[in-house]
Amino acid sequence: MSLSRVTLAIIEAAAIEALREKVVNALADRSLAKVARIVGLHENTVRGIASGKNKKPAIETLETLADHLFSWVK
């Protein structure tokens, strides 16, 4: 049995939202300016995600932040 496109879209949206929440939580105790500088994003982009103002950031932006925040090798 295969999943419908709608079902797959719902699953994808839920996964993206879960990643966004993890990134927001990880940013809570970090210097947003420093994170932005290290990953090459504009500070306002990182601040918007961290504050919850930007509720639908691009998946590429979340992946960039997650790569930095959750990497074991730094």
Please determine, for residue 62, whether its predicted confidence score (pLDDT) is greater than 80.
yes
When mean pLDDT is compared across 20-29, 51-60, 65-74, the lowest value belongs to 65-74
Pure H helices in the chain: 5-27, 32-39, 43-51, 59-69
- pLDDT at res. 60: 96
**Domain limits of the chain?**
5-69
Q: Which residue is listed with tokens 């932040």?
A: 65
Degrees (nearest 5) of the Cα angle 50, 51, 54?
85
b/e burial code for range 42-69 (CB count within 10 A of at least 16 → b)? eeebbbbbbeeebeebeeebbebbbebe
pTM value is 0.87
Q: What is the pLDDT of residues 13-55, one digit of tens each?
A: 999 999 999 999 999 999 999 999 999 999 999 999 999 999 9
